[in-house]
Amino acid sequence: MKTVSNINRDWEFVHGENGKKQRIDLPHTWNGEDGQDGGNDYFRGTCTYFKRLKRPSFPEGGAVYLEFKGVNASAVVYVNGERAGSHDGGYSAFRCNITPFLKDENLIKVEVDNSINDRVYPQEADFTFYGGIYRDVNLICVDKSHFDLEYYGASPIKIDPLVEGKDGRVTVTAYPAGEGEVKIQIFDGEGNCVAELENGETAVIKNVHLWNGVQDPYLYRAVASLYCEGEKADEICAAFGFRTFRADPEKGFFLNGESYPLRGVCRHQDRPQLGNALTKAEHEEDTRLILELGANTVRLAHYQHDDYFYELCDRAGLVVWAEIPYISRHMKGGNENAESQMRELILQQYNHPSICFWGLSNEITMKKGDKEDMLQTHRRLNELCHTLDPHRLTTTANYMGSSVDIPTAHIGDVESWNLYFGWYCPGLSLNDAWLKKFKKKYPDRAVGISEYGAEGMPNLHAARPQRFDNSEEYQALYHEYMLEFFARNPCLWATHVWNMFDFAADARNQGGEPGRNHKGLVTFDRKTKKDAFYLYKAYWSKEKVLHLCGKRFINRTGRTAFVTVYSNVGQVEIYNNGRLVASPAPEKGGKVYKCKLNLEEKNEIVVKAGGLQDTAVFYKVKRKDPSYRTNTGNSMSWEKRKAKKSGKKK
């Protein structure tokens, strides 16, 4: 029988620049510090990992594999000095058959390279490309007969569930290597066996229980067993779900025949110091926060995320947009890599019911490139997706600085645009104007907003918030507008906030904190929820929300101050120093309440609604608190460059 052992512990790491040796445990990155401190000068080169390994016991004729779940960006694996395998692409899994190289005592060496090149995506983007073996490494021992582990790092079981009326039809194919007989069983969510079938057969499940998004993410499970001479030689299982979906150009997204507007966030995965070297606990915390917000979809940007995250989305009912890092700049020499990353993404994550969309590219028209070659690449990627997966839709995240007519935008089944009007360009109302123009020209295309957002830092504040001030208040105002814009436009098949979390982008320097993109609704360390977080929560969550904004904006100047409250529990009352000062009428979808307050020396604000209460204290001060203003502004290159580009094209 197959055994899978995690071998994360006890590696030796040798830094490629300073030659420093270190005993480490995986997951690991060498850019945890220099990739987050700004300056765009983090080490991109080759570092080496070593691991001593005793020969594992495995049956005669069997095989031993090393399974790497994520190594950024290219890896060459050696066993006892002999090359056992290699891989290009920092976000997908790969395996090496190391059987022929094994001795009693073995030295595994992995050369990991995240240096600049023109072959492996991503090379240019607004995030840090942390080098390292930053996901799990497993040692897998299999019998002579086993399920195949040599096909693009894929799970050797493929599940195709379809819904027909009230029933589910599921075809399950397992891929044995070697001889044996495959038996497949299907279990429902309660653990009852509901079907038994032969390999490649289709089972009908009467009155199937659908996977119905966040409201009922019901999962089935398929188990394939491989028998050889009456003994079980291998077993593989995977969860799956039955659902139908479509994106209508006028009415938006439908899940299982019902309108289900996709409203959610994009996620970058990294954390302070850890970079991308995460454990399950961090993935679980991110899922909890996304669910707390009330989102029903997540765009897993800009690369393949950890297996476990897709699994969490399956269980949570979050509809996922999964994508490869074909981003910012088309590289003629990168076509093979873009295609192999797409192949791996689909084959490795095929069974997850949460995934409904494969993203072909992100803002790929931002730089001038070989346009025809880029177009061909998109056509090939699109075809590859449909060949490997006839059931899901393809999409693109397009650059707002390009014309709505760019052909790459229209190659996928649906499309989406990264719209930053009100941030990179002045004028929130340009969002409406843009969509109107798009719809006039392309009434039959399903369109969504794959990114929108504004910088917002919990330490920066403004009584009169403005674009580029990086204040928590401007970010909140911006999102107030965007939520109304979506309400006016139910045709949008999906909207994804950029971003759920702040993340590291070593090329940035703004707001007094270099190396960071602050468009998150939650800070990089996941500890602070910005005011905009509660705006979404009030709109989307079923939980009762009453949130008084500006709690961190303690020192106020002038005679009056604006008070903003986000709530979904009905009429709000606002008290200052024990006196009721306002019960404002709701604005903006009934979730936003604002009033102007006469400032006293000390203001103990209490807001009450639906049995909930929230408080803050503001002081009246003579001079603006200088710590509330950014002294670096938006002097960093990425933001400026992008603003300039978007402006130019208009």
Q: Which residues bind ligand GCB (CB under 6 A)?
A: 125-126, 302, 362-363, 418, 451, 498, 517, 519, 642
Given 323, 344, 363, 639, the catalytic residue: 363
The pair of three-digit structure tokens given for residue 268, joined into one six-digit string: 């970058």
Cα distances from 593 to residues 480, 484, 568, 613, in angstroms, run: 11, 14, 10, 14
The pair of three-digit structure tokens given for residue 279, joined into one six-digit string: 């454990």
Closest CB 168 distance from ligand GCB, rounded Å: 37
Answer for the pair 63, 55: CB distance below 8 angstroms, yes or no: no
Helix or strand run (H / E) with residue 313:
helix 307-316
CA-CA-CA-CA torsion sign (298, 68, 338, 368) = positive
Residue 203 or 449 having the CB closest to ligand GCB = 449
Secondary structure, 3-state, 381-398: HHHHHHHHCCCCEEEEEE
Residues 6 or more apart from 421 whose CB is under 8 A from it? Answer: 400, 427, 428, 429, 430, 431, 434
Closest CB 440 distance from ligand GCB, rounded Å: 24
Residue 567 or 634 having the CB closest to ligand GCB = 634
Residue 136 or 506 having the CB closest to ligand GCB = 506
Residue 210 or 419 having the CB closest to ligand GCB = 419
Answer for the pair 513, 39: CB distance below 8 angstroms, yes or no: no
Active site residue 12: no
Closest CB 363 distance from ligand GCB, rounded Å: 5
What single DSSP character describes residue 481? H
Closest CB 366 distance from ligand GCB, rounded Å: 8
Closest CB 498 distance from ligand GCB, rounded Å: 5
Nearest of 218, 260, 264 to residue 541 by alpha carbon? 264
Residue 163 or 404 having the CB closest to ligand GCB = 404
* C-alpha to C-alpha distance for 506 and 125, rounded to whole angstroms: 10
* C-alpha to C-alpha distance for 42 and 23, rounded to whole angstroms: 21
Residues 6 or more apart from 239 whose CB is under 8 A from it? Answer: 219, 220, 221, 311, 314, 351, 352, 353
* C-alpha to C-alpha distance for 35 and 188, rounded to whole angstroms: 45
Closest CB 639 distance from ligand GCB, rounded Å: 7
Cα distances from 649 to residues 70, 196, 403, 641, in angstroms, run: 38, 59, 8, 13
The pair of three-digit structure tokens given for residue 334, joined into one six-digit string: 């990168």
- DSSP H helices, 363-471, are 371-388, 430-441
- Residue 535: HSE in the Cβ half-sphere, 13 Å Cα cutoff: 28
The pair of three-digit structure tokens given for residue 623, joined into one six-digit string: 């001079």
* C-alpha to C-alpha distance for 397 and 494, rounded to whole angstroms: 11
Residue 40 or 106 having the CB closest to ligand GCB = 40
The residue type of 90 is: G
Nearest of 89, 91, 85, 88 to residue 66 by alpha carbon? 85
Residue 253 or 638 having the CB closest to ligand GCB = 638
Helices 531-540, 280-293: inter-axial angle, 10-degree rounding: 60
CA-CA-CA-CA torsion sign (422, 426, 428, 432) = negative
Residue 603 or 646 having the CB closest to ligand GCB = 646
Closest CB 544 distance from ligand GCB, rounded Å: 32
| CA distance between the termini of the chain | 62
Which residue's CB atom is positioned nearest to ligand GCB?
126
Indicate the length of the chain as a whole number: 650
Residue 58 or 303 having the CB closest to ligand GCB = 303
- DSSP H helices, 428-566, are 430-441, 472-488, 531-540
Residue 317 or 359 having the CB closest to ligand GCB = 359
Closest CB 395 distance from ligand GCB, rounded Å: 14
Closest CB 361 distance from ligand GCB, rounded Å: 10
Residue 337 or 402 having the CB closest to ligand GCB = 402
Active site residues: 363
